[in-house]
Amino acid sequence: MIDGQKEVWRNVDAYLEEVLGEDDPILADALYLARQEGLPPASVSPAQGRFLATLVQMIKARYILEVGTLAGYSTIHLARATGPEGEVVTLEYDSHHAHVAQVNLERAGLADRVEVRIGAAAETLPVIYEELRPKFDFVFIDADKTNNTLYVEWALKLARPGAVVVIDNVVRNGGVVDAHSTDPSVIGSRAALEFIADINPPAAAVLQTVGAKGHDGFAIFVVPGDLPG
């Protein structure tokens, strides 16, 4: 790694914010409250939040599932992008995180279209399945990486054919290449990538990213099956 490379990535993200528009006060305040409340700095970056919002708009996703809420920063991006008719269900294990997210979503005027469910996703996902709600159009997986394969399996059950599933943090500063890694997050990410490679290979991609959050990557795939209409 060339010294100063990370500074370049940060500078480019700062420039991109300048040219595309800085985070508005609601997004900025959401991150501020997260810091104030001692939450870890794991929210997607502003550039990544815009990217997710753009994907949601591209497929006109109405029903969105998020696994891993934290302070609701990504949730705000997703909920805005889905529009007033949209609905977001977001799953969070830590009740303090969920509380901070709820405050942020209320301040953002989005509480009516977002439901924050507290509990381990491995337990709340089956409950959502039992509720027979409309199938999700978009799923963002961004919680404990050790369970990524399980979350992908649930995404396949809960999302409609043609739905888009995005998994965050699958590159982890290059750690993903280490087949002998003992890091549970790397093991979890590698397992999830191997799993999605078998689902719908022509409609799966992994893209490395650099920026304010360092070197990481998103996995993206389209849920197979007969497309409606």
Contacts to ligand SAH by CB under 6 A: 42-44, 68-70, 73-74, 91-94, 97, 120-121, 142-144
Maximum distance among all Cα pairs of the chain, rounded to whole angstroms: 52
Nearer to ligand SAH, 27 or 159 (CB): 27
122 is an interface residue for ligand DHB by CB under 6 A: no
Nearer to Mg ion, 90 or 169 (CB): 169
Nearest in space to 64 (alpha carbons), one of 201, 151, 160: 160
Residue 94 partner contact from ligand SAH, Mg ion, ligand DHB, none using kind-dependent CB cut-offs of 5 to 8 Å: ligand SAH
66 is an interface residue for Mg ion by CB under 5 A: no
Query: Residue 93 phi/psi, 5° resolution?
Result: -75, -40
Q: CA 130, CA 219: separation in Å to the nearest integer?
A: 27
Binding mask 160-199 for Mg ion (x = CB under 5 A): --------xx------------------------------
Task: Show the tokens assigned to 226.
Answer: 């007969």
Residue 120 partner contact from ligand SAH, Mg ion, ligand DHB, none using kind-dependent CB cut-offs of 5 to 8 Å: ligand SAH
Residue 92 partner contact from ligand DHB, ligand SAH, Mg ion, none using kind-dependent CB cut-offs of 5 to 8 Å: ligand SAH
168 is an interface residue for ligand DHB by CB under 6 A: yes
Shortest spacing between CB 168 and Mg ion, in angstroms: 4
Q: CA 194, CA 82: separation in Å to the nearest integer?
A: 30
Contacts (Cβ under 8 Å, ≥6 apart) of 28: 22
Tell how strand 159-167 and strand 214-222 pair up. Answer: antiparallel
Task: Show the tokens assigned to 2.
Answer: 């060339």
169 is an interface residue for ligand DHB by CB under 6 A: yes
92 is an interface residue for ligand DHB by CB under 6 A: no
Q: CA 19, CA 31: separation in Å to the nearest integer?
A: 21
Shortest spacing between CB 102 and Mg ion, in angstroms: 20
Residue whose entry in the numeric block shows the structure tokens 């290449």: 177
Tell how strand 136-141 and strand 214-222 pair up. Answer: unpaired
Q: CA 170, CA 192: separation in Å to the nearest integer?
A: 9
137 is an interface residue for ligand DHB by CB under 6 A: no
DSSP class of residue 218?
A: E
Residue 91 partner contact from Mg ion, ligand DHB, ligand SAH, none using kind-dependent CB cut-offs of 5 to 8 Å: ligand SAH
# chain residues binding Mg ion, by CB under 5 A: 3
Residues that bind Mg ion (CB under 5 A): 142, 168-169
Residues that bind ligand DHB (CB under 6 A): 42, 142, 168-169
